[in-house]
Chain A
């Protein structure tokens, strides 16, 4: 028992769905309800309670020893963030029970409580206090925080004048210098440029090496693999797998849970017209729809759509940009003159335009896919700039034997020659 850090038993959290739709009720609603049918109100409240609730998390049990670094993976809405919110005491469980031995520090979102009007120095103190640091503790680490964030020159400038990069670095620096026994980290590494992410990851592994207990939520499988020993796979609010990390990742990637990588358009989601988008998918080299692809392997982007009637001169294409919005390329299915001649007119019915993206093209990171369908110079049928995101895992990319960030959105395998210079 002495080396136990966290014990979770049958933990569950229920949300009223109404809270997602209409965030709050107005006083008027309550008064009207009470006035119109006071006796029925209680009963209705009970009914509604049963119908319009969901369990974001249920029947979750596990134990963590001190110094253990636990990964938590699962697709969006699987309950990962809810679990962290419960453990960091932001919200209360609906059922079940957990014991936590030690101070919990959370890195749920960097920059929480930063005030734009205050200076860097003032925000370090304010943010430190919010995250649970004592003043003496902040005093002691102040210089270290400032130099980690690389904002020495601007420390007495209001943070509203900071660049977003400086702001982020400062925020992370404060949080990273927390020294709780248990550290809870939620996807903070998804922000900032690759170099900054690298720095954060480095700091994270330092923390883990110091023997602190860490719970780490991420979509980045290589970060999970690098930092954690054991991993929990969550799906629909339940623990579906709990094992050493390599096994858990393998389970997650092959079980079909990881297969997001798809955007579907429902009936009302696209403008009416002859062109109706159906789905956009990222498919990896093994033919699996996936949210993550390997930089070292080719993959495909498939756009499925339906034509109400025959369209002449249609071109369907994709935009690729980085998660920071920098365009990478634009490509259409009839860019090739031969294809353009062959598909001058497309008949009504379902079609798929499939784009093959070669191995060793993209750098590590998250990318955004947009789609466009038009007849050039005549009519644009459909366009959506942010239709789907996916990430690229750098394992096996050129130069990945050096653990460093490479600048730029692409990372092509280029031919190099090393020659003796002739004098």
Chain B
């Protein structure tokens, strides 16, 4: 029967072996790749559902960073007078908020994703990593919408992008890598320890102030810049501003540290996730 051979290419297939797994597992990217359509549909669902039954719909993707930027401009720019690297404050804050909100939305949604998809996890098999992966990817869509507004603002304020623009995708990648790494850690932990649900907002708030969103990284004393780089989002936010606005070039040492930490978070997160994966359906 021809119908039965869907998804197969010739020859008797290798059997699926079920047995108890022990210790650390490989990250099985091949399996994740085979389920890419599911990942795609989960991302698509997140995007579709996000602004259903709202009056303003996808405009929220822009309004959230924009309104925050207005508040920051009034408070930090006008009243307190935080230096903004010679960049008009609205652009300075908005450009900092974009990568930050990408990270924040990704982490907060991925962190609770496994628990909120409990009915899927306990009923059907698929690589569990698809669950936290989807919200991180879906945040990219909001990012793109908000990014278009940034381009408009730059045109309005007459800020031209510089040659540093080539580095933009790299900083975005680092933001996604970090968000996914943290998201994997938190989502796997949240299955066993529901405390994570309460910790996430607090964690993100602290992280926000440790990242140069409302201030410029240039206020950090030279001697501590490398330590500051341990926060990958410091590198991302600063780097993003530099790539777009040409202001506040990051130091390579601290950037390298940021990239290293981001990568470490992703790999360790994926390994921890894989190790805990087999108990998700029983514990969640």
Chain B residue contacts of A115, Cβ below 8 A: 45, 49
Contact A91 B282 (CB under 8 A): yes
Q: Which residues of B contact A94 (CB under 8 A)?
A: 20
With contacts A98-B18, A137-B6 taken as known, whether A19 is within 8 angstroms of B192 at the C-beta atoms is no
CB distance from A331 to the nearest CB of B (A): 40
* A97/B19 in contact, CB under 8 A: yes
| Complex CA distance for A181 and B53, rounded to whole angstroms | 40
From B3, B4, B48, B281, A118 is in contact (CB under 8 Å) with B48
Contact A24 B283 (CB under 8 A): yes
Contacts of A41 in B (CB 8 A): none
Picked from A24, A117, A135, A212, the residue with its CB within 8 Å of the CB of B52 is A117
User: Quick check: B1 and A93 within 8 Å, CB to CB?
Assistant: no
- CB of B1 within 8 A of CB of A211, answer yes
Q: Are A89 and B41 in contact (CB under 8 A)?
A: no
Contact check, B18 vs A100: say whether CB atoms are below 8 A apart.
Answer: yes
Query: Contacts A25-B192, A26-B195, A101-B13 known; A113 to B124 CB distance under 8 Å?
Result: yes
Compute how far the CA of A158 lies from the CA of B52 in the bound complex, rounded to whole angstroms: 10
Tell whether, in the assembled complex, residue A96 and residue B124 are in contact, meaning their CB atoms are under 8 Å apart. Answer: no
B residues in contact with A156, CB < 8 Å: none
Contact B49 A179 (CB under 8 A): no
Picked from A90, A129, A181, the residue with its CB within 8 Å of the CB of B281 is: A90
Question: Of A15, A27, A89, which one neighbours B195 at CB under 8 angstroms?
Answer: A27
Are A91's CB and B278's CB within 8 A?
A: yes
Complex Cα–Cα for A137 and B5 (A)? 12
Q: Assess whether A103 is interfacial by the CB under 8 Å rule.
A: yes
In the complex, the answer to whether B19 meets A98 with C-beta atoms within 8 Å is yes
A99 to B16, CA, bound (A): 6
> Size band of the B side of the interface?
35 or more
State whether A98 and B17 are in contact (beta carbons under 8 Å apart), knowing that A19-B283, A125-B41 are contacts in the complex. Answer: yes
Within 8 A of B (CB), among A86-124: 86-104, 106, 108-109, 112-113, 115, 117-118, 122
Q: Are B18 and A89 in contact (CB under 8 A)?
A: yes
Whether the Cβ atoms of A92 and B278 lie closer than 8 Å is yes
Residue of B nearest to A96 (CB): B19
B33 at the A interface (CB under 8 A): no
* Residues of chain B lying within 8 A (CB to CB) of residue A112: 119-120, 123-124
Q: Would you call B48 and A85 a contact (CB within 8 A)? A: no
Q: Which residues of A contact B120 (CB under 8 A)?
A: 112-113, 130
A126 within 8 A of B: yes
What separation, in Å, do the CA atoms of A93 and B22 have in the docked complex? 11
Residue from A11, A89, A118 in contact with B45 in the complex, judged by beta carbons closer than 8 Å = A118
User: Per a CB cutoff under 8 Å, which of B44, B119, B282 touches A19?
Assistant: B282
Bound Cα distance A364, B6 (Å) = 39
Q: Mark A23-46, 1 if CB is under 8 A from B, else 0.
A: 111111010000000000000000
B119 contacts A113, CB within 8 Å?
A: yes
A24 with B15: CB separation less than 8 A: no
0/1 interface trace, chain B 214-242, chain A, CB 8 Å (1 if under): 00000000000000000000000000000
**At the interface, yes or no: A270 with Cβ under 8 Å from chain B?**
no
Contact across chains for A130 and B48 when beta carbons are under 8 A apart? no
Chain B residues whose CB sits within 8 angstroms of the CB of A158 once the complex forms: 52
| B122 at interface by CB-CB < 8 Å | yes
- Judged by a CB distance under 8 angstroms, whether A272 is at the interface is no
Question: How would residues 67 to 86 of chain B score, 1 for a CB under 8 Å from any chain A CB and 0 otherwise?
Answer: 00000000000000000000
With contact pairs A97-B17, A112-B123 given, residues A26 and B3 touching in the complex (Cβ less than 8 Å): no
Interface centre among B1, B19, B121 (most CB of A within 10 A): B19
B164 at the interface (CB under 8 A from A): no
Taken residue by residue from 1 to 39, chain B's Cβ proximity to chain A (1 for < 8 Å, 0 otherwise) reads as 101101100001101111111000000000000000110
Chain A residues with CB under 8 A of B119? 109, 112-113
B93 to chain A, nearest CB (A): 33
Taking A86-B18, A92-B18, A126-B42 as given, write out 16 further A-B residue pairs in contact, using a Cβ cutoff of 8 Å, ordered by the A residue number: A24-B192, A27-B193, A90-B124, A91-B282, A92-B20, A96-B20, A97-B17, A97-B18, A98-B17, A100-B18, A103-B7, A108-B123, A109-B123, A117-B53, A122-B48, A134-B37
Interface residues of B (CB under 8 A from A): 1, 3-4, 6-7, 12-13, 15-21, 37-38, 40-42, 44-45, 48-49, 52-53, 119-126, 191-195, 278-279, 281-283
- In the A-B complex, the 8 residue pairs with the smallest Cβ-Cβ separation, listed nearest first, are A89-B125, A129-B41, A98-B18, A99-B15, A92-B278, A27-B195, A91-B281, A100-B16
